[in-house]
Structure 1
């Protein structure tokens, strides 16, 4: 079978696939639209991350393809319904990068609440801003509000509770009496209550019609004074302009944003001058360890499906 991999994958996992199949591994092919369309026509399986848009012309080019494998969990870059209509099986790497995302949430929450980690240049220059940086807050005793309590949300809750946090959650896709709440020791609340109570709000929802713009100016304005917002879910869930305004106006205590409505993020003047802000290029779920787990899980699934 012919496997096309157009974004980066762990080399050892690629070698496992090469042992049984013809593999074209070109991590930069995602940026070569004509080349991708040409090579897609030969593929029995296509392996992507989050940048390859599996829809439209690319989907039309996959004439002999049987499988689309996603090195990650979000599927908003794949037209799943159109794939299924064509008989294509879509395989995500469910759960394989959950720990990386959960650690990112806890790490950025601690950084944003403490607020004292940007002093290196000042201290090295002979300044001593001890008084100014002595008002940081501890994570223990704070309330974490999870918007979405799937696999990643549950693991984030477990880490947060180990750090002494109280955890509440809202999930519009899950019943309020779902066993997961009791099993995780998490209190189910409605979204309005969550934004009022949480010191840290962490988003773990897909980008669908009901979640687009979920955290707009109105909802951001109802968040607890000094609270921090962390988005590792999908761009478009948060109104970026409204968030920048809330940070500059002092309504929020900080934000960590890993995902954006447009990726790669173009130059964005609205982010300039925002206090206590962390912007990262969609890497919350990408570590050396998670890349190995994701890649080998997908390799396992492909070898099984193409046997």
Structure 2
């Protein structure tokens, strides 16, 4: 059987696959559609990250394809209907990068609340902005609003609680009797209430028809003055133009975005130059440790599927 890997995968996991199957690992395939389609002509399995578009055209180019392994959690780059129609199994790395994302969220919320980490150049030049940077806020005692309370949201609540924050969550799919709610003292609320009470908001929802544009201009404006927002979910969930305007007006205290409606973020984006804004290139779930966990989990599950 043949396995094709079109984006970066941890070396030991690739070796594990190669020990069992004819394996082609070429992280440049994602940028060469013709070569990727040619490689898939006899492939039984394809392993991707978030840039390879597994659409109907790709599926048609892979007549033997039986399984797609996703080195991550989000599936918006995979046409699930096209895969279902062909009986192709889709295997995400559910849970394997949760620690990395939760740590990113808590870290960036603390950075945004404190507001003290953007002055290195000034201090190095002999300036001393001590007064300007003496009004930062602590995470302890603040309310963290989690939009989505799956595995990553739950771990984020746990980490934040250890630092003295309390959490509220909005997730219609969560059982109100979930024991973890009581364990972490998390209250389930409606989205509008969450936005009204939260000092910091973190997004943990997939991009679907129901969540696209979820935090539009009116909802962003409902956030309390000085609140901060972190998005590690999907870019289309937040209105980027409205967010930039609310940062510039001073209504929002800060924001951190790791995902965007269009990736890479285009030059001249409304976000460019917005104050108190941290931008990272879709790496919240990527650490040395999470890469090993994600790659190992997907490799094992693909091996199990093909060997079954």
TM-score scaled to structure 2, two decimals? 0.97
Q: Distance in 2 between matches of 1:99 and 1:268?
A: 33
* Corresponding pairs, count: 307
Deviations 1:47-102 (A, max 9, x none): 00011111121111121011000001111111112211211000000100000000
1:289 lines up with 2:277 in the alignment: no
User: What are the ranges of 5 or more consecutive residues in structure 1 without an aligned counterpart?
Assistant: none
Residue number in structure 1 paired with 2:89: 89
Residues 144 and 15 of structure 1: is their aligned pair in 2 closer, same or farther, counting only changes over 3 Å? same
1:106 lines up with 2:106 in the alignment: yes
Residue 270 of structure 1 aligns to a residue whose secondary structure is coil
Question: Do the aligned partners of 1:248 and 1:273 also contact (CA within 8 Å) in 2?
Answer: no
Residue number in structure 1 paired with 2:79: 79
Deviations 1:106-161 (A, max 9, x none): 00001000001011100010100100110000111100000000000000000000
TM-score scaled to structure 1, two decimals? 0.98
Q: Distance in 2 between matches of 1:83 and 1:177?
A: 35
Residue number in structure 2 paired with 1:220: 220
Residue number in structure 1 paired with 2:50: 50
Q: What is the root-mean-square deviation in Å for CA atoms of aligned residues? A: 1.0
1:30 lines up with 2:61 in the alignment: no
Question: Do the aligned partners of 1:104 and 1:284 also contact (CA within 8 Å) in 2?
Answer: yes
User: What are the ranges of 5 or more consecutive residues in structure 2 without an aligned counterpart?
Assistant: none
Residue 42 of structure 2 aligns to a residue whose secondary structure is coil
Residue 127 of structure 1 aligns to a residue whose secondary structure is coil
1:151 lines up with 2:158 in the alignment: no
Q: Distance in 2 between matches of 1:232 and 1:169?
A: 16
Question: Do the aligned partners of 1:100 and 1:290 also contact (CA within 8 Å) in 2?
Answer: yes
Residue number in structure 1 paired with 2:195: 195
Q: Distance in 2 between matches of 1:68 and 1:54?
A: 9
Which structure 1 residue ranges, 4+ long, deviate > 3 Å from structure 2? 175-180
Residue number in structure 1 paired with 2:64: 64
